[in-house]
Every structure is written in C-alpha cells, then in structure tokens.
Chain A
Amino acid sequence: MSRSIDISLRVNGEDVRATVPSRLNLVDFLREELSLTGSHVGCEHGVCGACTLTVDGDTVRGCLMLAAQADGKDVITIEGLAENGQSAQLQAAFTKHNALQCGFCTPGMLASAIGYVNAGGIADREAIRQHISGNYCRCTGYQSIVNAICDVIEEKSV
C-alpha cells in the first residue's frame, strides 16, 4: 500500500532497510526507529534548524523531508559526523568558546557550520552570521558560536 513504503538507505555508513508510514519525516525516522537522537526536533516547519542533517553531501532539514524520500540516499547525522571526526575541531572550538548552553541547537548548528567550513567559507563574521541565520539559538546570543566557527577556519588556514 502506498501508505507504508519500503526504503533502503545508508545511515552513517551502514545499510538500513525499513518499512515506514508515508507521513513519517526523516528526522523522526532517525530518532524513533534508529534511536539516533542527536538530531533534534524543534519547530517541525523548517524554521529553527535543530533537525539539520546531511543527505548525499548536502545539508537539509530533517523535518522537511519524508523518510520515504530518503530511499537510496546517504544520510549522515551528527552521530556520524562525530564518529568520522568531521565535527571534532568544531566541537572543541564550541566547548572552548562556550558556544552552547542548553545544547538544543548544537547538533544542527554543527551540521550547518560543517557545511560552511567544507564549502570553503571564510572567517568573516557577517558571512557566518548569514550562513547560520537558518539555525536558531535561544541561549548564546550567537557571538560565541561565530567565534568558534571563525577559530576553526583560521586554524585550518595556517
């Protein structure tokens, strides 16, 4: 039936097969079926960025994609980014700069920041603010997050 869909995808390097309800979104699938609770769910309408994930190398909103649409795709969550070492430098910089308080926004913020750094983004405060404008943080006031991202880019360039 087209209300339950068979999917097979890669999640953090592992092959996954599942049968999902058509209405299930990708981030709920990852959290509830695969127990990958690193990606958070805030607004469920694309505004807050807490659910940001990487699909086939692109950052996307996990709440604005159906699990069914992830069939055949390569999904990397924050758990995968931490395991493969991609987020290590940013995580250290976030800690050093106090770039998180409650931590709710952090997984999405890191996923977005990695997108920026990997795309060759420069250590320009205005450009970084623009890039993370799609990720809400209700604690830090963003300054320390921008500091942390700047740090990582500057370290890379020396």
Chain B
Amino acid sequence: MKAPDFDYLLPASLDAALAMLAEHGGEAMPLAGGQSLMPMMNFRVAAPEVLIDLANLSELRGISIEGDTIRIGAMTRYAELMADADVQKHIPIFGLALPHIAHDAIRNRGTIGGSIALADPAAEMPALLRALNAIVEAEGPDGTRMINADDFFLGMFETALDGELIKALHIPVATSEQRFGFHELTQRHGDYALAGVAVVQTSNTYRAAFFGVADRATRVPDLEQALEQQDDMASVLEHLGNIDFTDDLKANHTTRQRLAGVALKRALKGMTV
C-alpha cells in the first residue's frame, strides 16, 4: 500500500522542529531515516497528519569524543557508524553488531536515533545501548534531559520520550578492562533476531542485554551476577527463566528461551580480546 496523506515539514533547526512538534502535538511524527516509519505508514499502522523531517538539523549530527564518552548525533546513519574510525576504535561491539542490522540499502538511511526512538523489542541498538550503559540526550520544550538507557525503554515501541526529540547518544569509550561479545539468531541474514544478546564485560562484572526475546531490550540482574560469580553455565542459563519470553508465529517462548541461551553461550565464546 501507499502512505496516507500528510503535511511534510522540513525545519531548519532543532528549535523550529521542537516548536512544530509542540504545535501539532500527537498528530505529528518526526521522520529520520524512514526505514521503519515509511513501512509503518505504507502498512497504515502509522498515519501522522504531519511529518517533521529531521534531515536538515545539524544539531543532530556529528560524532565527537568528549572525555571518556563518545557522543553520537541522533541522525547518524548505521553506514556512517560502520565507516567511522572513532566508533570502530572506541565502541568495538558496534563492529560486531552493525552488520547484522538489516541490509546495506537500509543501513545507508536508517539512523541510530530512529532505532532508539522506535524501541522495537527485536532491534539490536536498544540492547547495545543498555549493555554499554549509554545515556540518551533528549531535547524538549523544557530543555535537555539525560536519560540512562536502562530507564529509556518502557515497553514494546514505548520509550521515556515526552514531546522530545533524541539529540544524541553518549557511550562510554571502551577501556582496557573491557571485553565485548555479541550474537544473534535469525532466520535469514539481516532479519530481526529471534533471540540475541550484547555482552559487555568490565573486569569481572557483566552487563548482558537480550533482544528479540521479550517486550523490550532486557537485562537479567541474577544472570549477570551468576556470570560474575563464574557459576557453571547451566546455573547461569537457569536465570533466563526470569524473562517473560515472547510467543509468536516465528518461535514460542520455550524455543526463544533456548535460543537466548545459545546466543549467550556463543557471545561469551566469541568475546573480543
């Protein structure tokens, strides 16, 4: 199908975009890469009256190192992340994960901010940001809010944003004490994962964020603790039982739990050195 009719607005600044968003309230949606929003509009599951294209907002672009974090503008495309030397050096887990996100043509348009704002439970980026302990910089009519990735994803396609736009993501740069692992299981390369996990190990502590398994990117504190205590793998995997696994046509919850365990074992086996 084709998208329903809408007003197309192309603000030249972040302030102008926020004003438009405030003026049109729930009728308006921001447009980033369009790689999720356009299919949603074509399917008519989204029918915004007003589309606010973020393409010209220079405030939402750029990658810079700020002390011990790397700041990535929301409108940075996946393809730009893959090609950026600072990202490669300071966020090694992106090198493992990005090739699994969709396909070349989609990565040439899809943005990191769009993926975070969408909060698809099967998407890689929300889980990566939780594993990395990242911070979301949101800009709204009342100013800037810094939101921990752990507090940002509230449910399926639901985030902590409140009339705000994502401006940038802040990710701690990798240290020599850290190792990274990533694995996902899909029916076909580039598909959304049936189950996957991003693992960040700092000395002997772990942050492991699963995706594709439940209504949002999910961490399991008991499981992370079991990894820290070096429990045997069978006991580690038992803690997966804490997840409320998704049941759908592609995989039921028993299969998903099994796949999540396989993904975790493979991610741990393939940790960067």
Contact = CB atoms under 8 A, between A and B. Distances in A.
A129 B190 CA distance: 11
A134 B106 contact: yes
Nearest to B2: A23
A69 B7 contact: no
A81 interface: no
A52 interface: yes
Given A58-B79, A58-B108, A69 B34 contact: yes
B249 interface: no
B240 interface: no
A49 B35 CA distance: 13
Interface residues of A, number: 32
A131 B104 contact: yes
Given A49-B105, A58-B108, A23 B4 contact: yes
B3 interface: yes
Interface string B79-118: 1000000000000000000010011111011000000000
Contacts of A68: 8, 10, 53
Contact of B2 (A44, A115, A134): A44
Contacts of B5: 3, 21-23
Main secondary structure on chain A at its contact with chain B?
mixed
Interface residues of B, number: 32
A112 B108 CA distance: 12
* A61, A115, A130 — most chain B CB neighbours (10 Å): A61
Given A2-B9, A58-B79, A64 B2 contact: no
Nearest to B189: A133
Nearest to B9: A2
B39 A64 contact: yes
Given A25-B2, A68-B53, 9 more contacts: A1-B7, A3-B8, A22-B6, A44-B1, A46-B38, A63-B38, A69-B34, A112-B105, A131-B104
10 contacts: A2-B50, A23-B6, A25-B3, A45-B43, A59-B104, A60-B109, A61-B105, A65-B34, A133-B189, A134-B190
